[in-house]
Amino acid sequence: QLHQLRGRVGRSGQRAYAYLFHPRDRALSENAYERLRTIGEATELGSGFKIAMRDLEIRGAGNLLGEAQSGHIAAVGYDLYCQLVTEAVAEMKGEVPKLIVELKIDVPITAFLPNDYVAKEELRLDAYRRLVAVRTHADVRDIQAEWEDRFGELPDPAKALLMVGALRAECHRINIREIVVADNRARLSPITLKASESMRLMRLAPTATYREQTHELNVAIPRRQEPATYLVGFLQELIED
């Protein structure tokens, strides 16, 4: 909102200045300071998207997850937003756009690329876009190898981001379109289990519930286990190729 307000001050050929103050006797939190610094650094036209991206990182949610954003991203979600941009670019180039099925993953996890790991914003944005586009576990391994080669040893938030990518690959493998984790339980849909897989489910997760009519699976996440990591292993063991 501060960035948008600043943008209303000067228009066209009129030069103007915007001064943003905060009470001297009130200490800024680290997140507030980072947000103000982001606004101060983003001075060129069209900076709104970069500011939204940076805001996601400050919250520790990365670009695949996070709370609701303003503008176009809020309306369609980050994954679909990237897909729409990709399709628009392809259309401008005269290319035939690929059919893309939207995938929703809502998992509580601190997953992002820290600034001190990937310094350039353009490189971080490109890395996020590539991770959104993964279809197989081989794609995720290739991205991991590239990050380690270019940027060095992976920090924990980057490892978590790759694990979300692995969960995306697993969803594409078995045609799951939505995973929502809340209150230590995961809801997966649509999913169709064979008779042998239903028996295997009873062994792997006795408290899980599978609704064949709605093709929905509800499974508990064991305590002290990171949801994305658990779900990748669980699905690989439940449904074999």
pLDDT at 64: 41
- Domains of the chain by residue range: 1-43, 100-238
Where are the alpha helices (H) located in 59-107, listed in sequence order?
71-76, 78-92
pLDDT at 76: 43
Residue 59 host element (H or E): none
Asked if residue 219 lies in contact with residue 154, where contact means CB atoms within 8 angstroms, the answer is no
pLDDT at 70: 37
The single residue listed with the structure tokens 């101060």 is 40
Integer Cα distance of 38 and 35 in angstroms? 5
Compute the Cα dihedral for 84, 85, 86, 89 and give only its sign: positive
pLDDT at 22: 77
The single residue listed with the structure tokens 């919250």 is 59
Blockwise average pLDDT, block size 10, the chain, 241 residues: 64 68 77 76 66 60 38 46 64 66 81 87 81 90 94 92 93 92 93 93 94 94 91 93 73
Q: Which CATH superfamily is domain 100-238 in?
A: Transcription-repair-coupling factor, D7 domain (3.90.1150.50)
pLDDT at 3: 63
